[in-house]
Chain A
């Protein structure tokens, strides 16, 4: 079947098998391998992408066909103008990643969280990330990173310096 999706701002039209999962569509049809696969039971969250700008979805739990007519943001779409997104920068600053396998899913879940709750407290962050497993970091630095990104995103833009 034929589907039209916008991924990271770019429109695509593709033929897909009805059973193709969104995650394999992104990885194999579009070559966006930042979105990972870590389980068969919708448990690990390494496949999370953002649907229509603010909804974190597990792309292993959705058929590509269900994305027809929708917008998807993957980890590859976070960098804007060559600059890391504040979440990416914060994960780097706070040592919020080790092997990096969970990182794209963590970033996308956090991205959707901040869209809904620009100022989440620690319990809210832990709650939001509870569908994303990480075997390496113990989550503490991930939580810290999300807090840092939130603080930065909310900080008022610097006043133009008078010359």
Chain B
């Protein structure tokens, strides 16, 4: 082993499009998803769902189901109540949710009973034989009906009201006064519809109680395995050391795999009682109708401005539909998540936002669907608001934005709603976008088209996100602080294993985590094995959602590696026979100050750590780091959509879409670009297709992929991407997180573009999804109105 080889500077460095280390197993069909796991003697759980959105349960008759050969048990809410498991606390602990219904059902498809049988088919057949007698009750189908409190949904709660909470931040009076005094103001209700993350792999579990050891192993579709272990322990009283959560490969998550679902609890309870493994894999219908939905915010946006377009005040009042239980996945102290980011990229002197949440007869949820908690809703509100304001001012929307951006020199920028934005150069990024897309030429083209009556639109969205929850003084979930962790062990021959408290669902952590450690340590990323998702081996972490992996665990990895480097420095001093203070780290190797040609690699040091440790240092080379971020990170971007609208059919063609993202330091550009493509496609889906709608009786209208529309390769536009880089000043490697930016920023760009196209007709706003029918109707009624 050479002690003099100088590492090639680039081999270990960040910023390379290294091919993903996880791919070969997926490409060969050797991924290991929960449903791929089969345990000996395993039983199946199938769940009986309510056909009614609101009904009293009169009687449940298990007889016919129990008579089916192969059926082992039929569980109801009453059975669970005997184990104190009929209800469990919701995500942040402010409410509780039913596992299996007791007394009454509160949404269509609510879980009413569980059938455990020897095969999936028998369990499903028998589930149909469970006879439930219901007495239907009038449903509450929207939050505006809910707030009248004529029908009280939750008779289990002390307060006999459907109102869950009121939340506000900012200066109400000053903001109202500023809007009243402004030259120009706008007010618009924009609705961010209820939608669903719908990862292609549905949720599932195998619960395996080992009677001999008393340990409960849960193979779980979990974005947050440690948090789930703690919750299971708190809810069941099983000591945490007796619970082993394994989250194997996940087929996407997007926030859907953060909450705890009834199927998990029933399978676990059944395994504990029966003593054999029990598997539950939800169907697509169960996924769409019962597990964590997102959004469902009705937002009244008001902006005041001077007549030359300087914004003076922002007010957003929101009514939120939380469904049957308050199970929104938000940090404990932030009932409306990070909605306070609603002032966006603009310098508002006055701002105020408030939110009231209500129960309805709809499924519970409110997950952060490919976004940091409620940041997507907030970004949509402000970016739509700015567009509407630009039109009212008769000002170019790009110019309005450039006029009101927080300036580069204002960072760190304290926002009026309580954040301190870390860094950014919004002018640079938007100017770059305008330049690449050829904005002036497009506006010229639009002008000409308008003279011919053709509908072409250009939509801009310049969003700012707040991600990476977060500093423990502010952020916790059920009291557990939202730090994250990493552990690195360097083996004697210079390869390593890296474990983190996060859990990849396709983001490529096995690659990017190795790249971070490789750059910090000067080790080959191909030989740094990354492992996540096993609570027995990984250090405690809060998991992967809300773009927190890179900002929090990514930082923990860099810091753990730096701890190792500090120890390695001592070993290097020992090997180079020089004082520690004279040892320098450069080009991914150590050398004595002034003698760079005599460098010593980490590989050599690793070997020495086990074979020839320095005096007074422990043998071995490993470190663990728990990282508590000092602040959130604030990735941002400038997106521009160009659309053509066919007035005859309502069809919107997205002709071009440019996304410029600034996520600070980039670890792997290929992966970042892939994340952006994926997020833009989900943003496109939300803008044009995806909605969980309900009819006036509370029936779910989008129960499978023929009704809940996910874009295919045919509809999905071609994406153009580029970037600027403003590193986060407080993150060890300057990274900010990116997976969610495109989903946060793009819906407003699409909608702004379509509204811009329809501007000559006087259409100001249409709520998403902008289906052909809605666009066609808007065009038709605008034209009709013009004729009369």
Say whether, besides A39-B704, A100-B22, A138-B716, A75 and B29 are in contact (CB < 8 Å).
Answer: yes
Tell whether, in the assembled complex, residue B705 and residue A39 are in contact, meaning their CB atoms are under 8 Å apart.
Answer: yes
Whether A70 is near chain B, meaning CB under 8 Å from some CB there, is no
What are 12 A-B contacts with C-beta separation under 8 Å? A32-B29, A33-B29, A38-B201, A40-B285, A40-B704, A95-B19, A97-B26, A98-B252, A99-B199, A133-B712, A134-B200, A135-B682
Tell whether, in the assembled complex, residue A129 and residue B712 are in contact, meaning their CB atoms are under 8 Å apart.
Answer: yes
Distance in angstroms between the alpha carbons of A91 and B20 in the assembled complex: 11
Contact digits for B17-43, partner A, Cβ 8 Å, 1 yes 0 no: 001101111111111010110100000
Whether A66 is near chain B, meaning CB under 8 Å from some CB there, is no
Distance in angstroms between the alpha carbons of A107 and B28 in the assembled complex: 10
Interface residues of B (CB under 8 A from A): 19-20, 22-31, 33, 35-36, 38, 120-121, 198-202, 249-252, 254, 283-285, 505-508, 670-671, 673-675, 677-682, 704-706, 710, 712-714, 716, 718-719
Tell whether, in the assembled complex, residue A139 and residue B713 are in contact, meaning their CB atoms are under 8 Å apart.
Answer: yes
Distance in angstroms between the alpha carbons of A78 and B26 in the assembled complex: 12
Tell whether, in the assembled complex, residue B713 and residue A130 are in contact, meaning their CB atoms are under 8 Å apart.
Answer: yes
Tell whether, in the assembled complex, residue A84 and residue B706 are in contact, meaning their CB atoms are under 8 Å apart.
Answer: no
Q: Per DSSP, are chain A's interface residues mostly helix, strand or loop, or mixed?
A: loop
Distance in angstroms between the alpha carbons of A160 and B404 in the assembled complex: 65
Residues of B within 8 A of A127 (CB): 713-714
| A73-127 CB contacts (< 8 Å) to partner B | 74-76, 78-79, 84, 88, 91-93, 95, 97-104, 107, 125-127
Tell whether, in the assembled complex, residue A43 and residue B678 are in contact, meaning their CB atoms are under 8 Å apart.
Answer: no
Tell whether, in the assembled complex, residue A43 and residue B706 are in contact, meaning their CB atoms are under 8 Å apart.
Answer: yes
Residues of B within 8 A of A136 (CB): 252, 506, 674, 678
Tell whether, in the assembled complex, residue B249 and residue A100 are in contact, meaning their CB atoms are under 8 Å apart.
Answer: yes
Residues of B within 8 A of A107 (CB): 27
Tell whether, in the assembled complex, residue B254 and residue A135 are in contact, meaning their CB atoms are under 8 Å apart.
Answer: yes
Distance in angstroms between the alpha carbons of A82 and B576 in the assembled complex: 45
Contact digits for A27-48, partner B, Cβ 8 Å, 1 yes 0 no: 1100011111111110110100
Residues of B within 8 A of A65 (CB): none
Whether A13 is near chain B, meaning CB under 8 Å from some CB there, is no
Tell whether, in the assembled complex, residue B705 and residue A33 are in contact, meaning their CB atoms are under 8 Å apart.
Answer: no
Say whether, besides A36-B33, A131-B712, A102 and B27 are in contact (CB < 8 Å).
Answer: no
3 smallest A-B Cβ distances: which pairs?
A34-B29, A101-B251, A100-B26
Tell whether, in the assembled complex, residue A91 and residue B250 are in contact, meaning their CB atoms are under 8 Å apart.
Answer: no
Residues of B within 8 A of A37 (CB): 35
Residues of B within 8 A of A125 (CB): 713
Distance in angstroms between the alpha carbons of A34 and B249 in the assembled complex: 12
Candidates A33, A88, A140; contact of B677 at CB < 8 Å: A140
Say whether, besides A33-B29, A101-B200, A140 and B252 are in contact (CB < 8 Å).
Answer: no
Cβ distance A117 to chain B, nearest Cβ, rounded Å: 15
Distance in angstroms between the alpha carbons of A38 and B670 in the assembled complex: 27
Tell whether, in the assembled complex, residue B38 and residue A28 are in contact, meaning their CB atoms are under 8 Å apart.
Answer: yes
Tell whether, in the assembled complex, residue A143 and residue B704 are in contact, meaning their CB atoms are under 8 Å apart.
Answer: no
Tell whether, in the assembled complex, residue A141 and residue B674 are in contact, meaning their CB atoms are under 8 Å apart.
Answer: yes
Whether A132 is near chain B, meaning CB under 8 Å from some CB there, is yes
Residues of A within 8 A of B26 (CB): 97, 100, 103
Say whether, besides A97-B23, A100-B31, A101-B33, A41 and B671 are in contact (CB < 8 Å).
Answer: no
Residues of A within 8 A of B27 (CB): 75, 84, 88, 91-92, 97, 100, 103, 107
Residues of A within 8 A of B254 (CB): 135
Tell whether, in the assembled complex, residue B508 and residue A34 are in contact, meaning their CB atoms are under 8 Å apart.
Answer: no
Closest to A34 in B: B29
Tell whether, in the assembled complex, residue B200 and residue A102 are in contact, meaning their CB atoms are under 8 Å apart.
Answer: yes
* Most chain A beta carbons < 10 A, residue from B198, B673, B716: B716
Tell whether, in the assembled complex, residue B716 and residue A139 are in contact, meaning their CB atoms are under 8 Å apart.
Answer: yes
| Interface residues contributed by chain A, number (CB under 8 Å) | 56
Candidates B29, B285, B508, B705; contact of A98 at CB < 8 Å: B508
Tell whether, in the assembled complex, residue A41 and residue B705 are in contact, meaning their CB atoms are under 8 Å apart.
Answer: yes
Candidates B24, B25, B29, B679; contact of A35 at CB < 8 Å: B29
Distance in angstroms between the alpha carbons of A87 and B733 in the assembled complex: 35
Cβ distance A103 to chain B, nearest Cβ, rounded Å: 5
Say whether, besides A75-B29, A76-B29, A140-B677, A99 and B121 are in contact (CB < 8 Å).
Answer: no
Cβ distance B503 to chain A, nearest Cβ, rounded Å: 12
Tell whether, in the assembled complex, residue A74 and residue B681 are in contact, meaning their CB atoms are under 8 Å apart.
Answer: no
Say whether, besides A76-B28, A104-B29, A138-B719, A99 and B201 are in contact (CB < 8 Å).
Answer: yes
Whether A142 is near chain B, meaning CB under 8 Å from some CB there, is yes
* Most chain A beta carbons < 10 A, residue from B35, B675, B705: B705
Tell whether, in the assembled complex, residue B674 and residue A38 are in contact, meaning their CB atoms are under 8 Å apart.
Answer: no
Say whether, besides A41-B705, A92-B20, A99-B505, A74 and B29 are in contact (CB < 8 Å).
Answer: yes
Tell whether, in the assembled complex, residue B506 and residue A139 are in contact, meaning their CB atoms are under 8 Å apart.
Answer: no
Distance in angstroms between the alpha carbons of A19 and B122 in the assembled complex: 12
Tell whether, in the assembled complex, residue B29 and residue A133 are in contact, meaning their CB atoms are under 8 Å apart.
Answer: no
Contacts A17-B121, A135-B252 known; 19 new A-B pairs at CB < 8 A: A33-B35, A34-B28, A34-B31, A41-B284, A41-B706, A95-B670, A97-B26, A99-B201, A99-B505, A99-B506, A100-B25, A102-B200, A132-B712, A133-B705, A135-B198, A136-B252, A138-B680, A140-B677, A140-B718
Cβ distance B466 to chain A, nearest Cβ, rounded Å: 24
Residues of B within 8 A of A100 (CB): 22-23, 25-27, 31, 249, 251, 506
Residues of B within 8 A of A92 (CB): 19-20, 23-24, 27
Residues of A within 8 A of B713 (CB): 125-127, 129-130, 132, 134, 139, 142-143
Whether A4 is near chain B, meaning CB under 8 Å from some CB there, is no
Tell whether, in the assembled complex, residue B678 and residue A137 are in contact, meaning their CB atoms are under 8 Å apart.
Answer: yes
Cβ distance A108 to chain B, nearest Cβ, rounded Å: 10
Cβ distance B279 to chain A, nearest Cβ, rounded Å: 11
Residues of B within 8 A of A19 (CB): 121
Closest to B120 in A: A24
Cβ distance A90 to chain B, nearest Cβ, rounded Å: 10
Distance in angstroms between the alpha carbons of A17 and B70 in the assembled complex: 16
Distance in angstroms between the alpha carbons of A119 and B537 in the assembled complex: 48
Distance in angstroms between the alpha carbons of A26 and B712 in the assembled complex: 26
